């Protein structure tokens, strides 16, 4: 249990422990034998009780009792006999809970029994058990979880349960489980629009006042702060998912033509698109929260171009949950073209029951936009980017010719649409900021963290049709709080650094006046114009606001402190990426790059890949990186070259999908290992330059 000091074991304790372990082994062996043989006699069931009495976490014993109960209940027909059998099982659960009130198996067994619905449930007994348990430990989340189950099972109104949470919070403001249950109940009541819960503004105003009292009484207790964070999320985000950006954006004109006058005017009116050489256009839709359900019905395309019958949308997510903020499809153009022609593509996303968020909210913000694709002759000469090493990052930013970077605010579709009650949101959050500034404990980490989050919520609201200067002012103050938190709470330093990086990205990219200092259009020696963004030496540990970078073709993130590049998978236009001189420690941290089909140049030099002999981050994958079907072919291919697959499995899975022409990886410990060069050359046959040397 929490808070109990450890004490050194005495000889008699060790003897008792050994005897208990021997008894447990003997009981467990007998229960297993009875389960395998299907023996469900009274004596056999009694052995399982003895085992659970000593060890309530013996899942096999609980499963055995379920099988025994199902077997024996078939022989009973009298209601009283059935009720007696159920009561016997409930008493076993109660004995186990006296031994361990947080036994997963015991609580699950009790739920299972009630769900059999073989006899009326004694609600007085069930709620009485919970009252006794929560008096002993008011925050026992198993008990609260069972109470939610029981309230649903018995049809107890949410209003009654909400009053119960208020009683428990009044007894102790530190009851995190009561706050948590309150958030669940309020969400349900507001969705259902129950009587008295029609006004979200009224309810949340009352809740802010309630939790503020708790925070002023105990500013160092985290329970109230977590509830305040939940309230903040409900107040500062839309109720339904919204499309906030797309690529290609509305009005964009994509072309693979290198006519001189077009090259010198590489603006939104004419964007050189490398993927068009392969008659492919990656299309990206970016939502304000993870959604699922994008398909040909929910996203409608209309064009004279032939994209084939099957347009498949896939989630650009590092997990396999099916939900993602970012979705892409690759438009495969089947049209033959003998001369330069332009085609418009209309995109419509109506209100849809298919597109749904994790909370179950449907998409209800219809969007319509158009972009243009210019096709050139099929026999036009392909552009080779790799006649010599591409050095995109050696010069300071300076646009060539008359090129202007794309005005990225045109990428926005809805711009996180301003709701009718956004003024109330802003006023409510402003009041909260003023309140927390009055708290006497200036060095309380919860105060500073909440202030930073409140400021960022205000900044997000201010971005909706208002001056970006106010947004930047809020970001500046939030940056100061995160810097203080890094000093005050070093044990969570990495979290605060990541949050600070997101705020810094927001500040740098929230308006073109600021962002233009980091942007240019670079015309390469082969006359290819590329949209270039340089975000170097900013101490970034995390990449944020990727939806504002989807037009970028060359990105320089060198000389930062990046540990992850999650988010870059949204940049489907990306041709060249420099993340040298960062803190990338494994290839699994680079998995987002495997989702960028047309990435050609990658600089990973001077990171920390392979530097740690026991690098556990290789195995903390945000997705089942090693479970992909194509992995087997790559492993077999490397084994034929005598490459140690066990040592390089993450490198193999990273490099196999890439179609690079240029790779720099010097300055990483892995680069000097045996057979690593052979591995790279085997898996990337398109590679022409490795660490500045011609390899093909």
Tens digits of per-residue pLDDT, 151-196? 999 999 999 999 999 999 998 888 999 999 999 999 899 888 888 8
Q: Are residues 649 and 543 in the same domain?
A: yes
Nearest to 655 by CA among 627, 683, 634: 683
Q: Are residues 152 and 249 in the same domain?
A: no
Question: d(Cα 558, Cα 584) in Å, to the nearest integer?
Answer: 11
Q: List Cα–Cα distances, 136 to 104, 123, 272, in angstroms.
A: 18, 20, 68
Read off the pLDDT of residues 686-696 as tens digits, 9 standing for 90 and up: 999 999 888 86
Q: What are phi and psi of 345, to 5 degrees?
A: -125, 120
What pLDDT is attached to residue 624? 43
**Which of residues 293 and 460 earns the better pLDDT score?**
293
Q: Are residues 277 and 140 in the same domain?
A: no
Question: d(Cα 40, Cα 46) in Å, to the nearest integer?
Answer: 10
- CB atoms near residue 142 (< 10 Å): 19
From 327, 356, 375, give the residue that closes a domain. Answer: 375
Q: Are residues 145 and 277 in the same domain?
A: no
- 676's tokens: 């690593």
Q: Are residues 647 and 536 in the same domain?
A: yes
Domain-located, residue 676: yes
Domain-located, residue 270: yes
From 131, 156, 181, give the residue that closes a domain. Answer: 156
Strand, helix or coil for residue 285: strand
Strand, helix or coil for residue 271: strand
Read off the pLDDT of residues 453-493 as tens digits, 9 standing for 90 and up: 999 888 887 665 456 677 888 899 999 999 999 999 999 99
Q: Which of 73-87, 125-139, 372-386 has the lowest mean pLDDT?
A: 372-386
- CB atoms near residue 233 (< 10 Å): 12
281, 333 in Cβ contact below 8 A? Answer: yes
Q: Which H/E stretch holds residue 368? A: strand 367-375
Asked if the model's pLDDT at residue 4 lies above 70, the reply is no
Average of per-residue pLDDT across 98-104:
92
Nearest to 103 by CA among 149, 66, 64, 57: 57
Written as one string, the DSSP assignment of 555-613 is: EE--SS--S--TTGGG-TT--EEE--SS----GGGGGGGGG-TT--EEE--SS-TT--T
Longest dimension (CA), the chain: 92
The percent of residues above 90 in pLDDT, for the chain, comes to: 48
Cα three-residue angle 512-269-528, rounded to 5 degrees: 90
Please give the DSSP secondary-structure letter assigned to residue 1.
-
Q: Are residues 641 and 544 in the same domain?
A: yes
Domain-located, residue 415: no
- CB atoms near residue 358 (< 10 Å): 13
Q: Are residues 531 and 678 in the same domain?
A: yes
Taking the CA of residue 127 as centre, how many other CA atoms within 13 Å lie in the half-sphere pointing to its CB?
12
CATH code, 110: 1.25.40.120
Question: d(Cα 352, Cα 191) in Å, to the nearest integer?
Answer: 18
CATH code, 585: 3.80.10.10
Question: d(Cα 53, Cα 43) in Å, to the nearest integer?
Answer: 15
**Strand bridging mode 601-603 / 662-664:** parallel
Domain-located, residue 91: yes
Rg of the chain in Å (alpha carbons): 31
Q: What are phi and psi of 322, to 5 degrees?
A: 90, -15
pLDDT band at residue 516 under the 50/70/90 scheme: confident
- Cα 91 to chain centroid, rounded: 42
**Which of residues 386 and 13 earns the better pLDDT score?**
13
Q: Which of 215-224, 306-315, 357-366, 522-531 has the lowest mean pLDDT?
A: 522-531
Cα three-residue angle 297-303-304, rounded to 5 degrees: 135
Read off the pLDDT of residues 620-656 as tens digits, 9 standing for 90 and up: 444 444 445 556 778 888 888 888 888 888 898 999 9
Average of per-residue pLDDT across 410-418:
46
- 646's tokens: 């066990």
Question: d(Cα 70, Cα 73) in Å, to the nearest integer?
Answer: 5
Question: d(Cα 620, Cα 586) in Å, to the nearest integer?
Answer: 10
Q: Specify the pTM.
A: 0.83
- Cα 487 to chain centroid, rounded: 27
Nearest to 189 by CA among 162, 226, 155, 224: 162
Q: Which of 87-96, 193-202, 554-563, 611-620 has the lowest mean pLDDT?
A: 611-620
- 367's tokens: 């969007």
Q: Are residues 251 and 150 in the same domain?
A: no
Question: d(Cα 259, Cα 454) in Å, to the nearest integer?
Answer: 50
Dihedral of CA atoms 133, 134, 138, 144 in degrees, nearest 10, equals 100
Average of per-residue pLDDT across 682-686:
91
Q: What are phi and psi of 144, to 5 degrees?
A: -65, -35
Residues spanned by the domain of 55: 19-156
Q: Are residues 575 and 679 in the same domain?
A: yes
Nearest to 642 by CA among 695, 669, 682, 696: 682
What pLDDT is attached to residue 399? 47
Average of per-residue pLDDT across 103-131:
93
From 337, 358, 375, give the residue that closes a domain. Answer: 375
- 387's tokens: 């006649």
Q: Which H/E stretch holds residue 348? A: strand 341-349
Read off the pLDDT of residues 353-377 as tens digits, 9 standing for 90 and up: 999 998 888 998 899 999 999 887 6
Q: Are residues 557 and 680 in the same domain?
A: yes
Nearest to 348 by CA among 268, 429, 288, 294: 294
Strand, helix or coil for residue 204: helix
Dihedral of CA atoms 222, 223, 224, 230 in degrees, nearest 10, equals 100
Strand partners, 362: 356
What pLDDT is attached to residue 596? 94
CATH code, 321: 2.60.40
Average of per-residue pLDDT across 112-124:
92
Q: What is the 3-state secondary structure (H, E, C) of 112-135?
A: HHHHCCCCCCCHHHHHHHHHHHHH
What pLDDT is attached to residue 626? 46
Asked if the model's pLDDT at residue 3 lies above 60, the reply is no
468, 244 in Cβ contact below 8 A? Answer: no
- 156's tokens: 């107890």
Taking the CA of residue 87 as centre, how many other CA atoms within 13 Å lie in the half-sphere pointing to its CB?
9
Domain-located, residue 344: yes
548, 408 in Cβ contact below 8 A? Answer: yes
Nearest to 593 by CA among 529, 650, 633: 650
Q: What are phi and psi of 562, to 5 degrees?
A: -65, 130
pLDDT band at residue 684 under the 50/70/90 scheme: very high
Instruction: Please provide the average confidence, as pLDDT, over all residues in the chain.
Output: 84
**Which of residues 399 and 485 earns the better pLDDT score?**
485
Asked if the model's pLDDT at residue 277 lies above 90, the reply is no
612, 585 in Cβ contact below 8 A? Answer: yes
How many domains does the chain contain in total? Answer: 3
Q: Are residues 144 and 282 in the same domain?
A: no
Question: d(Cα 374, Cα 253) in Å, to the nearest integer?
Answer: 7
Question: d(Cα 572, Cα 271) in Å, to the nearest integer?
Answer: 14
Dihedral of CA atoms 113, 53, 129, 2 in degrees, nearest 10, equals -120
Q: Are residues 126 and 268 in the same domain?
A: no
Domain-located, residue 226: no
Q: List Cα–Cα distances, 595 to 286, 296, 307, in angstroms.
A: 15, 21, 21
Domain-located, residue 202: no
Domain-located, residue 42: yes
What pLDDT is attached to residue 334? 83
What pLDDT is attached to residue 360? 84
481, 448 in Cβ contact below 8 A? Answer: yes
Asked if the model's pLDDT at residue 402 lies above 70, the reply is no
Asked if the model's pLDDT at residue 80 lies above 50, the reply is yes
pLDDT band at residue 416 under the 50/70/90 scheme: very low
């Amino acid at each position: 249990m929490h808070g109990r000091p450890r004490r050194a074991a005495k000889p008699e304790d060790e003897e008792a422990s050994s005897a208990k372990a021997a008894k447990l082994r003997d009981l467990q062996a007998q229960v297993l034998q009875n389960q395998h043989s299907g023996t469900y006699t009274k004596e056999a069931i009694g052995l399982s009780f003895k085992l659970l009495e000593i060890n309530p976490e013996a899942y096999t014993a609980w499963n055995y009792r379920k099988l025994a109960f199902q077997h024996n209940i078939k022989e009973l027909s009298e209601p009283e006999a059935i009720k007696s059998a159920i009561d016997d099982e409930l008493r076993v659960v109660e004995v186990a809970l006296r031994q361990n009130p947080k036994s997963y198996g015991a609580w699950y067994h009790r739920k299972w029994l009630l769900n059999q619905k073989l006899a009326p449930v004694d609600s007085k007994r069930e709620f009485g058990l919970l009252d006794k348990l929560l008096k002993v430990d008011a925050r026992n989340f198993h008990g609260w979880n069972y109470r939610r189950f029981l309230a649903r099972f018995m049809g107890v109104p949410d209003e009654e349960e909400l009053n119960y949470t208020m009683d428990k919070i009044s007894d102790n403001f530190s009851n995190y489980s009561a706050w948590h249950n309150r958030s669940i109940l309020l969400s349900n009541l507001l969705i259902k629009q129950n009587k008295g819960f029609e006004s979200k503004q009224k309810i949340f105003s009352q809740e802010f006042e309630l939790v503020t009292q708790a925070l002023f009484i105990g500013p160092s207790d985290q329970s109230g702060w977590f509830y305040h964070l939940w309230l903040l999320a409900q107040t500062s985000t839309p109720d339904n998912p919204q499309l906030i950006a797309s690529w290609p954006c509305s009005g964009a004109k994509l072309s693979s033509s290198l006519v001189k006058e077009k090259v010198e005017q590489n603006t939104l009116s004419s964007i050189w698109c490398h993927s068009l050489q392969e008659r492919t256009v990656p299309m990206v839709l970016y939502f304000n929260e993870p959604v699922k359900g994008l398909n040909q019905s929910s996203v409608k395309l209309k064009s004279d171009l032939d994209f084939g019958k099957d347009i498949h949308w896939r989630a650009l997510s590092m997990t396999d949950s099916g939900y993602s903020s970012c979705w892409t499809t690759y438009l495969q153009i089947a049209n033959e073209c003998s001369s330069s022609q332009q085609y418009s593509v209309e995109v419509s996303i109506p209100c849809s029951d298919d597109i749904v968020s994790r909370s179950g909210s449907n998409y209800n913000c219809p969007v319509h936009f158009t972009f243009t694709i210019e096709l050139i002759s099929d026999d036009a000469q392909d552009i080779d980017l790799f006649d010599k090493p591409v050095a995109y990052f050696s010069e300071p930013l300076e646009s060539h010719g008359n090129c202007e970077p794309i005005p990225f605010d045109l990428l926005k579709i809805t711009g996180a649409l301003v709701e009718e009650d956004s003024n109330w949101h802003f006023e409510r959050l402003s009041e909260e900021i003023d309140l927390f500034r009055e708290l006497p404990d200036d060095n309380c980490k919860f105060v500073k963290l909440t202030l930073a989050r409140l400021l960022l919520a205000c900044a997000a609201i201010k971005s909706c049709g208002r001056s970006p200067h106010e947004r930047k002012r809020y970001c500046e103050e939030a940056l100061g709080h995160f810097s203080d938190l890094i000093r005050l709470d070093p044990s969570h330093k990495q979290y605060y650094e990541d949050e600070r990086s997101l705020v810094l990205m927001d500040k740098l990219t929230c308006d073109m006046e600021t962002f233009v200092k980091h942007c240019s259009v670079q015309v390469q020696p082969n006359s290819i114009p590329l949209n270039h963004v340089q975000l170097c030496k900013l101490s970034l540990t995390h990449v944020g606001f990727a939806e504002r970078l989807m037009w970028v073709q060359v990105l320089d993130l060198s000389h930062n402190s990046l540990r992850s590049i999650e988010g870059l998978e949204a940049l489907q236009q990306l041709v060249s990426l420099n993340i040298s001189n960062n803190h990338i420690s494994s290839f699994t941290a680079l998995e987002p790059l495997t989702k960028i089909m047309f990435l050609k140049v990658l600089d990973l030099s001077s990171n920390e890949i392979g530097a740690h002999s026991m690098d556990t981050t290789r195995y903390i994958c945000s997705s089942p990186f090693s479970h992909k079907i194509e992995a087997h072919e790559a492993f077999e291919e490397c084994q034929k070259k005598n490459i140690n697959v066990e040592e390089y499995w993450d490198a193999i899975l990273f490099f196999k999908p890439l179609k690079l022409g240029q790779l720099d990886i010097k300055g990483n410990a892995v680069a000097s290992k045996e057979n690593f060069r052979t591995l790279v050359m085997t898996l990337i046959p398109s590679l022409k330059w490795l660490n500045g040397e011609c390899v093909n």
